[in-house]
Structure 1
Amino acid sequence: MIRHILLIKFKQSVDSSQIDTLRALFESMPSKITGVVAVEWGVNDSEENKNKGYTHSVLMTFDNEEARQHYLPHAEHDQLKEVFRPLLEDILVFDYQI
């Protein structure tokens, strides 16, 4: 399995309805793309103040490398990126195998 972590910093102009729409798109991926096992959405609530402005996270789990490679160019992923990219101030992406 592969974990795909996104740490997200939204533009200040982004409102909660746009974030809710994005969350729904991410959470729909397992039902739309074979090999996407799970998606978790999180909002930073750490009191340590070390998040460097990143406020949200997405944790995706893929069955295997083939599933990740299937997801990356998939039309559903492209549609998600069309909504996502204009909202981003910055993003960190980190993948690892489990």
Structure 2
Amino acid sequence: MEEAKGFVRRVLLLKFKAETAPNHVERLIKDYSNLVNLVESLKTWHMGKDANIKNLHEGFTHVVELTFEDDEGEAAYSAHPAHLEFHERAWPHVKKMVVIDYKPTSFHT
């Protein structure tokens, strides 16, 4: 195994509250995606909706993957005013969230 140098990835699983209208969820996702334009240490932002045909999502409907330049970049993102403002607006609509941060690892066989 070889851990990648520098980059840190974050995977978020999001479950929104039932009373949050779908168009509001979409607006929040669009606003969230814009953070890649506002926070220098956030290098990539990708999102997808659950497409599992076996209904194993446990209510989580959206997955977001972020890439940061390094641990310090992730810390800078977490404290960035644009991220904090977005979090303030979005958090009341989130029922549950799972967050996993990892450093990409390559396996060579």
Scaled to the shorter chain, the TM-score interval is: over 0.9
Q: Quick one: distance in 2 between partners of 1:68 and 1:76? A: 14
Q: Which of structure 1's runs of 4+ aligned residues deviate more than 6 A?
A: none
Query: What root-mean-square deviation, in Å, do the aligned CA atoms of Structure 1 and Structure 2 show?
Result: 0.9
SS of the residue aligned with 1:51?
A: coil
- For 1:3, the equivalent position in structure 2 comes to 9
For structure 1, the residue ranges without an aligned partner over 5 or more in a row are none
Aligned length: 98
Decide which of 56, 65, 73 is 1:59's aligned counterpart: 65
Q: Quick one: distance in 1 between partners of 2:91 and 2:22? A: 16
Counterpart AA for 2:57: N
1:49: Cα distance to partner? 1.4
Report which of the two structures shows the higher radius of gyration computed on alpha carbons: 2
1:6: Cα distance to partner? 0.7
Decide which of 74, 78, 84 is 1:78's aligned counterpart: 84
Superimposed CA distance per residue, residues 35-75 of structure 1 (whole angstroms, 9 cap, x where no aligned partner): 10111111001112111111111111111111101001110
SS of the residue aligned with 2:85?
A: helix
Decide which of 90, 93, 98 is 2:96's aligned counterpart: 90
SS of the residue aligned with 2:64?
A: strand
Counterpart AA for 1:69: A
TM-score by length of 1: 0.94
Q: Share of identical aligned residues, percent?
A: 24
Q: Quick one: distance in 1 between partners of 2:37 and 2:52? A: 31
TM-score by length of 2: 0.85
Counterpart AA for 2:23: S
For structure 2, the residue ranges without an aligned partner over 5 or more in a row are 1-6, 105-109
